[in-house]
A and B are shown apart, each in its own frame.
Chain A
Amino acid sequence: MITWFKLATRNLFRNGRRSLFTVMAIGLGFAAVNALGGFTAYIFTSLEDSYIHIQGNGHMSIFKKGFLNEGKLDPTRYLLNEEDVRVIDEVLAAHPEIRISTPELNISGLVSNGEVSTIFLASGRVSSKVDVIRSRSRTKVGNMQLFDGEPMSDETPNGLGMSQGLADQLRFKQGDTVVVMAPTVNGQINALDGQMLQTFNSPVEALEDKLMLVSLEFAQSLYDTTSVDRINVLLNDGLLTESMRATLQSELVARGLDIEIKTWNELSTFYTKVKNMFDVIFLFAFLIVFTIVVMSVINTVGMAIMERTREIGTLRALGVKRRGIVGLFALESMLLGLFGSLFGVLLTLAVWSSIATLEPTWIPPQITRRIPLEVYLVPQEMLWSLLALLVLSLVAASLPARKAARMEIVSALGHV
């Protein structure tokens, strides 16, 4: 085995320039796939982290059954009342896998500066609990302040935040008093004064002139209810999301609650769409690399076979079997794949460390602030790429190698 390994390795250096170009092609392909893979991993992680932690939604949300389908038309019919919330809190408290849970009430109505009014959509939340969820963010964006002004706080229940577009439209600035109006759950018109604490950018451009953040207390007062529309749940380990959903679902139903639980990726359709898009892009990139690698290896092995036809004949004359010839070229091809992949690992590390050092920023879709651009190092993906390229090299070499092995020995020996 050592002899064949030695022979294969030395053969690669017989036409060093050709082997070098093949190794470079494989290495560049490897780096392209892994840099893109690292970038998509960054995007996926950022989107996941943004929804779960930065936006404070947690890994899953518990709703009254039907809220998501029919609740938009008549939200007050599908609210979780105090008793429901108490039972849910009891069930959740029995699970140490749950880091924290927080109730939420989404409201809509009119916001006015005394001269003009416009519609708004607001989330009513418990700021201290949302802060705990945000503090679990694993991304650089999670450590950035994504609003201008003061943070929301439990101590200022009438404090509110407003999307920049809405604030500009109504000419609100920090500290201004804001009049918020909405029908209560009983159909009465209610109005509350709020204090403008902060402005932020809407994650969806179409909502830039409509979004507000209020405290849960404020939202409940405006709707004149003690109910909420969901309980958001943050787990200690996101990998337990599916199993915990099933467990909580059965336990809550057993306690007589008619509820449904949706996980973060079911609720974040944007994440799913972006992921699908990047999966297609990644597939295209991989197919391009696949073509480059296969063509390079076929060319290299094909040329080597042509140049070494007489040597193949000699080895066959000395007793090497057909599968031995295939094995020799397969080994050479796999070594090309291995050296190429190792070169690719170095290139990927260079790309990764350059980006980590230079810390470039960019403005991704749906965010109006500059945020750090990152390329993650994904060792598992690199390992899979290496294995895939080895197999690809092997498969690419097998066709010309099999042809070489089936050559007539006499013809091969007489080849000039």
Chain B
Amino acid sequence: MNTITSIGTAPLVELRRVTRHYQIGENPVIALKGIDITIQAREFVAIWGPSGSGKSTLCNLIGMLDSPTSGTVLINGQEVNDLSDNARSELRNRTIGFVFQNFNLVPVLSALENVMLPLQIAGASSTVARERALERLAEVGLEKHVAHRPAKLSGGQQQRVAIARALVTDPALVIADEPTANLDSGNARRIIELMLNINASHGTAFVFSTHDQRLLESVKRRVLMQDGEIGSDSHPTRPAVQTRIAGGRP
């Protein structure tokens, strides 16, 4: 088992000996094999590795979209394994924003309505939600496209709407699942710059899975996933890979 230790005193995300097993037909699949990882507030973390290495599973567990088979997931120091589905939904809405590879915008809502959605799920009034959504859309440069539905927007514009939606509740963490995978290089570059700017200006932590080399080059902390284990973690303050073999002493 690999053990990676991040620095910091108040971890935003902490996974302790987390495993995730699936059953596909009659075959058991071990997606994660005892992961320990800590992510601090304001970090910008890329999770990379080959297909099937466990990147998405790790992102899903950090985002409380899935539950571990064993081990513990803590968000802001709170153990989330045993929370009810309702409590997890509320915590997810308050704390985490999501950006998906396929943008996953609601097609019948305009860009503005899509961005307002997380706030309205939280119970904010339409006026407040509208105001904050307009601010977020302006930040991502889409103030002229607020009334457009997703089908009328380009891929890059849709992903910017998705980023605005992920940020509208001022979450501590944004999880992005291959955010540039479906974009051309120009749009991919703009999305990378946008995320970096938001990280720098708002202090929002980003965790994203990617294959995109351009994105990896812009990231200080890169976590390599290999066969359900963390192969390496290029921590910004620790130049060397922080990997130990399972059973080893720190």
Contacts and interface: CB of A to CB of B under 8 A. Distances in A.
Contacts of B120: 3
Interface in B63-84: 63, 65-66
A413 B100 contact: yes
B98 A317 contact: yes
Contacts, number: 71
Contacts of A409: 60, 65-66
B118 A14 contact: no
Contact of A319 (B66, B104, B118): B118
B237 to A, nearest CB: 31
Interface string B111-140: 001001110111000100000000000000
Given A7-B109, A410-B65, A318 B100 contact: no
Tell which of A318, A321, A324 has the most Cβ of chain B within 10 Å. Answer: A318
Interface residues of A, number: 25
Given A317-B63, A319-B93, A413 B117 contact: no
Nearest to A416: B102
A136 interface: no
Nearest to A311: B106
A3 B85 contact: no
B90 interface: yes
Main secondary structure, interface of A, reads: helix
Main secondary structure, interface of B, reads: helix
B85 A410 contact: no
A7 B118 contact: no
Contacts of A321: 85-86, 89-90
Interface string A98-139: 000000000000000000000000000000000000000000
A322 B85 contact: yes
Given A3-B120, A319-B121, A320-B89, A314 B100 contact: yes
Tell which of B108, B120, B165 has the most Cβ of chain A within 10 Å. Answer: B108
A3 B126 contact: yes
Given A310-B104, A311-B104, A319-B89, A408 B109 contact: no
A320 B106 contact: no
B66 A410 contact: yes
Interface string B215-236: 0000000000000000000000
A53 interface: no
A11 interface: yes
Contacts of A6: 109, 113
A317 B92 contact: yes
A316 B106 CA distance: 12
Nearest to A14: B108
Interface string B87-101: 001101110001010
Contacts of A254: none
Interface of A: 2-3, 6-7, 10-11, 13-14, 310-311, 313-322, 324, 408-410, 413
Interface of B: 60, 63, 65-66, 85-86, 89-90, 92-94, 98, 100, 102, 104, 106-109, 113, 116-118, 120-122, 126, 165
22 contacts: A2-B126, A3-B117, A6-B113, A11-B108, A314-B100, A314-B106, A315-B106, A316-B89, A317-B63, A317-B92, A318-B92, A318-B117, A318-B118, A318-B121, A319-B90, A319-B94, A319-B121, A321-B85, A321-B86, A321-B89, A322-B89, A324-B121
